[in-house]
C-alpha cells in the first residue's frame, strides 16, 4: 500500500525528526562519555555518570525505537519497499543492530549510574569505573552511515527487488495490450473509420 503525498510527507518529516534527534542525543551522551574518560574530578564524574544514564534511558532509547518504527512505515508505505533495495535493507539492519547494542549497553550505563549515585562511593572508585566510549563512538559512526544511505540512496536492487521489478514490467505490458488492440484500425476500414468502397465494373 502506497501512502498519499500528504501522509508520506508527514511520515517522512516524523522519521527525519526522530533520526536526527537520535544522533543529537548520542552526541550529547558522547560529550559526557569523553568527560568521564578524561576527567579526574570526582564531582564531575559523579554528575556525568548520572546524566549519561538519564540521556540514554529517556532520550536515546525512545528515539531509537521511534526511528526504527517510522523507518519501517516509510519503507512499507512508499515505492522503496523493505527488501527491494540494498540501501533500505542495510539501513534497516544497521538500525536494528544499533538498537540491540544500545539495549545491551544500558545495563552497564545503569550500573555506572547506580554506583555514582551512592554517596559512599569513593573518588578512587569513581575514577576506576571507566567509560563506554568505544560503544558511543561506534554508535555515532553507525548512525551517520545510516543517514548517508538515506540521503544518497545508492542504486542497487536485491534479487527480490529485481524479481518484483520484472513482474511489474510484465503486468504493465499485459495491461497495455488490450488498449493497443482496441485502437488498431479494422481490416478493410478506411482511415476515416468507414468501410472502404470497392468499385465493380459492369
pLDDT digits (tens, 9 = 90+) for 65-123: 999 999 999 888 888 888 899 999 999 999 999 999 999 999 999 999 999 999 999 99
**Structural domain boundaries, residue 168:** 5-174
**By C-alpha distance, which of 130, 139, 140 is closest to 37?**
130
Is pLDDT above 90 for 182? no
**By C-alpha distance, which of 86, 64, 65 is closest to 75?**
86
Average pLDDT value for residue range 53-62: 97
What pLDDT score does 160 carry? 87
pLDDT in tens, 135-162: 999 999 999 999 999 999 999 999 988 8
What are 98-102's contacts with CB under 8 Å, separation 24+? 98/64, 98/139, 98/142, 98/143, 98/146, 99/64, 99/65, 99/68, 101/135, 101/138, 101/139, 102/56, 102/60, 102/61, 102/64, 102/139
Residue 81 lies in a domain: yes
What pLDDT score does 144 carry? 96
Residue 20 lies in a domain: yes
According to DSSP, the residues that pair with 157 across neighbouring strands are 85
Residue 202 lies in a domain: no
Residue 200 lies in a domain: no
Residue 189 lies in a domain: no
Distance CA 35, CA 90 (A): 32
Instruction: Read off the pLDDT band of 195 (50, 70, 90).
Output: very low
Residue 12 lies in a domain: yes
Distance CA 14, CA 71 (A): 9
Distance CA 110, CA 104 (A): 11
Residue 47 lies in a domain: yes
State the chain's mean pLDDT as an integer.
87
Q: What is the DSSP letter of 191?
A: T
- The model carries a pTM of 0.80
48 CB-contact burial (10 Å; exposed 0-12 / middle 13-18 / buried 19+): buried
**By C-alpha distance, which of 75, 88, 66 is closest to 3?**
75
What pLDDT score does 179 carry? 54
Residue 180 lies in a domain: no
Task: Output phi, psi for 185, to 5 deg.
Answer: -65, 140
Tally of domains within the chain: 1
Amino acid at each position: 500500500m502506497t501512502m498519499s503525498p500528504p501522509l508520506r510527507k508527514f511520515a517522512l518529516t516524523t522519521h527525519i525528526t526522530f533520526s536526527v534527534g537520535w544522533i543529537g542525543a548520542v552526541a550529547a551522551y558522547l560529550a559526557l562519555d569523553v568527560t568521564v574518560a578524561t576527567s579526574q574530578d570526582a564531582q564531575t564524574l559523579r554528575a556525568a555518570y548520572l546524566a549519561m544514564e538519564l540521556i540514554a534511558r529517556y532520550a536515546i532509547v525512545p528515539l531509537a525505537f521511534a526511528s526504527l518504527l517510522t523507518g519501517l512505515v516509510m519503507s512499507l508505505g512508499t515505492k522503496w519497499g523493505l527488501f527491494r533495495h540494498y540501501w533500505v535493507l542495510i539501513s534497516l539492519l544497521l538500525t536494528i543492530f544499533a538498537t540491540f547494542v544500545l539495549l545491551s549497553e544500558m545495563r552497564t550505563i545503569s550500573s555506572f549510574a547506580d554506583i555514582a549515585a551512592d554517596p559512599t562511593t569513593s573518588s578512587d572508585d569513581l575514577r576506576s569505573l571507566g567509560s563506554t566510549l568505544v560503544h558511543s563512538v561506534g554508535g555515532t559512526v553507525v548512525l551517520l552511515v545510516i543517514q548517508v544511505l538515506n540521503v544518497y540512496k545508492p542504486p542497487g536492487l536485491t534479487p527480490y527487488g529485481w524479481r518484483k521489478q520484472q513482474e511489474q514490467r510484465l503486468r504493465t505490458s499485459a495491461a497495455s495490450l488490450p488498449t493497443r488492440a482496441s485502437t488498431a484500425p479494422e481490416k478493410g476500414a478506411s482511415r476515416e473509420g468507414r468501410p472502404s468502397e470497392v468499385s465493380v465494373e459492369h
